[in-house]
Amino acid sequence: MSNNSINMGAKSKKVLEVVSGWEAVELAVKCIFFGIWQLIQMFVKRLWKGHRRKSKNSSVELTVDNSVGTHCYIKIMGVKYHYVKTGPKTGQLVLILGDAPDTGKLWGPTWTTVVRRLSEEGYHIITLDLRGTGGSEGGRRSDLAPPRAVEELSTLMEVLGVSENNPAVVIGFGIGGMLTWYLAHCHGRMIGKLAVVGAPHPNLYWQYPPAAFCNRVLHFIQWPNFPEQWLAEGAQERDGRWASSRACDWSGPLNYVRGAAWWRVRANHRIESPTLLVGARDSAAQLVTSAQYCLSSTLRMVTTPDPTDLELATIVQDFLIEKEKSSEFEPRTLMGRMLGAVAGRGRELTAKLVLPPVQG
């Protein structure tokens, strides 16, 4: 690994702070208490309804459209990653971090159209499988904790030719969006632009959970094994929301979430790169609070903040493909920009929040 990579790794350790002291003790106690309560509820529910045997077809195998790009494998810090590359190698790199567990939505017609359009514009797109999803290797919770995850992702970017002089664009969905936040804070100079979809800032972990499946069970998720089984058994009851109901498919997503609970971004640290934040239409408070960790951000609200949303596809393309736009009607005050983020629809939802630099 180069000296430049080592220096950036040292910087990332200064940005990330581990939860310690009384806060860590209090968190551990809550995890034990709420975990026991959740287990009791699970046991009572099984007694009441009876444990249903799963059918042999409960697992769904994901398929990827080979026409989208070329499948590749790469070993980073001893870990095998799978990704799909699209577009000319000479173009600016766009790193796409999907949600976890993998639902296959990145390979639907809506998002593949976005990938092809970016490819036509000269971008080199890398769609990466997070650890424990798709064809990428899994890992324990310590392997997927923010410091290690950030180091692996930044090393991958460096191997793919990204540097401070040749920055990448990073797009993250859900759990991938959470990792995008960490990556932008720790290695911001390697990122020219970033888009975070459906993922609040990691410092808002307990106020706004990092993924839908975390709602009301964040403390229970810290337990080993039981959360994987609980989510797997309930996956088929959620109208096919997740593509697989195997417990092993939840290991990666849960270990990313488990690690995030014990790490914070330094409170006064801000992201300098232009940032697009996208959330559901009822997520105005979350978006505005998350935007406080960015020096320059664009806020958008859509019906469904995932790769299947047609409006999101247009928003991301407009954000990346620069066009000459008139600023005649752009709100000039901070309050006007916040109101603009929640009042309109489509492009009228755009609001630029430019916060003063923070010394740190």
- Give residue-wise pLDDT tens across range 260-270: 999 999 989 99
Nearest to residue 114, comparing CAs of 101, 102, 129, 127? 127
Domain extent listing, the chain: 66-321+333-354
Residue 133 or residue 244, greater confidence:
133
Model confidence at 51, pLDDT cuts 50, 70, 90, reads low
Query: Is the model's pLDDT at 175 over the cut of 50?
Result: yes
Indicate the range of 99-103, 311-315, 344-348 predicted with least confidence: 344-348
Query: Is the model's pLDDT at 201 over the cut of 50?
Result: yes
Instruction: Assess contact for 197 and 128: CB atoms under 8 A.
Output: no
CATH 3.40.50.1820 for domain 66-321+333-354? yes
- What does each C-alpha distance from 309 to 101, 125, 198, 304, 313 come to in angstroms? 18, 19, 12, 6, 6
Query: What gap in Å lies between CA 349 and CA 342, rounded to an integer?
Result: 6
Query: Is the model's pLDDT at 48 over the cut of 80?
Result: no
Query: Is the model's pLDDT at 131 over the cut of 80?
Result: yes
- DSSP E strands in 91-218: the ranges are 93-97, 124-128, 168-173, 191-197
Predicted local distance difference test score (pLDDT) of residue 353: 45
Note the pLDDT tens digit of each residue in 206-242.
999 988 888 889 999 999 999 998 888 775 444 445 5
Query: What gap in Å lies between CA 227 and CA 259, rounded to an integer?
Result: 15
Model confidence at 285, pLDDT cuts 50, 70, 90, reads very high
Query: What gap in Å lies between CA 291 and CA 266, rounded to an integer?
Result: 15
Residue 11 or residue 186, greater confidence:
186
Query: Is the model's pLDDT at 42 over the cut of 80?
Result: no
Residue 282 or residue 338, greater confidence:
282
pLDDT, average across residues 134-144: 91
Predicted local distance difference test score (pLDDT) of residue 11: 52
Indicate the range of 36-50, 53-67, 188-202 predicted with least confidence: 53-67
Instruction: Assess contact for 279 and 287: CB atoms under 8 A.
Output: yes
Model confidence at 149, pLDDT cuts 50, 70, 90, reads very high
- What does each C-alpha distance from 287 to 194, 197, 277 come to in angstroms? 15, 10, 7
Query: Is the model's pLDDT at 341 over the cut of 60?
Result: no
The pLDDT mean for the chain works out to 82
Predicted local distance difference test score (pLDDT) of residue 326: 38
